[in-house]
Amino acid sequence: ETGVTQTPRHLVMGMTNKKSLKCEQHLGHNAMYWYKQSAKKPLELMFVYNFKEQTENNSVPSRFSPECPNSSHLFLHLHTLQPEDSALYLCASSRLHGGGVRSYNEQFFGPGTRLTVL
Amino acid sequence: AQKVTQAQTEISVVEKEDVTLDCVYETRDTTYYLFWYKQPPSGELVFLIRRNSFDEQNEISGRYSWNFQKSTSSFNFTITASQVVDSAVYFCALSNRDDKIIFGKGTRLHILP
């Protein structure tokens, strides 16, 4: 148990559905991340939220819409997905320090949501 | 540009053997951080270690040890006396910013009983 929870753990949806993935961290961290992990591909960073502000959007299609209402919660809203979007979606959080040589930035991951798009 | 290369896609060893997972990185920054994560079949990435670029001291934690060599830009991970529970995908990662980590493609490790 890393202190990062994700729901649901498994999701099957049709291409016309709208669903949301939820991530919650109980670690007092101030940054949260969404990653996509497809079979036989490296981890792909999708979005980064730093103190609730989005600081990274890695050319992610608009059918993925993140929301970060506070530093403990992160959502990924899904709509009109494609079968190739089927993957493991991982949420992570970290504590960001103010920069400088000794900043710590290891990320702690949730268990992931296994998404299947039919 | 930053890059992490894990040349070993898949490794199989018999239980109790030692195994080393290789990691080579590229970065132009003088200050950076290196990580290893473990991903068991359950899917969750488990943080194992962080190493700062200004600290080349090797580290040992139980059966795990890490060899950081700046001269060869490598950060290799050795498991001594491997166990079946060590079977997982292991990721090496690099960061030079607080909020972005670049992951390698991972090495799938099979420990055979």
Mean residue pLDDT across chain A: 87
Mean pLDDT of all residues in B11-24: 97
Q: State the nearest Cα–Cα gap between B47 and chain A, in angstroms.
A: 7
pLDDT of A110 above 60: yes
Which residues of chain A lie closer than 8 angstroms to B6, CB-CB? none
Which of A4, A36, A105 to mutate against chain B (most B CBs within 10 Å)?
A105
Mean pLDDT of all residues in A49-57: 76
Is residue A88 less than 8 Å (CB to CB) from chain B? yes
A89: nearest Cα among A38, A16, A48: A38
At residue A59 the predicted structure's pLDDT band, cuts being 50, 70 and 90, is confident
For residue B95, the number of C-alpha atoms closer than 13 Å in the C-beta half-sphere is 22
Neighbours of A75 (CB within 10 A): 17
Mean residue pLDDT across chain B: 92
- pLDDT for A104: 55
Which residues of chain B lie closer than 8 angstroms to A2, CB-CB? 44, 46-47
Residue-wise pLDDT tens digits, B54-86:
888 888 889 999 999 999 999 999 999 999 999
Which residues of chain B lie closer than 8 angstroms to A92, CB-CB? 45
Residue-wise pLDDT tens digits, B2-17:
899 999 999 999 999 9
Is residue B7 less than 8 Å (CB to CB) from chain A? no
Measured distance CA(A88)–CA(A38) in Å, rounded: 6
Measured distance CA(A100)–CA(A66) in Å, rounded: 29
At residue B98 the predicted structure's pLDDT band, cuts being 50, 70 and 90, is low
The identity of residue A41, as a single letter, is: K
